[in-house]
Amino acid sequence: FTLVFQRFPAGWKIIHDHTSVVPPPGKK
């Protein structure tokens, strides 16, 4: 699957393209 890295003010977060659920703050 593909991991999409998006830039957030709080830091980098990993967005999974197969789900719309935002990863917990522990995963950056």
Q: What is the pLDDT of residues 12-21, one digit of tens each?
A: 666 655 555 6
Cβ proximity of 17 and 4 under 8 Å: yes
Q: Which residues contact 5 (CB under 8 A, 6 or more apart)?
A: 12, 13, 14, 15
What does the pLDDT read at residue 11?
A: 66
What does the pLDDT read at residue 27?
A: 56
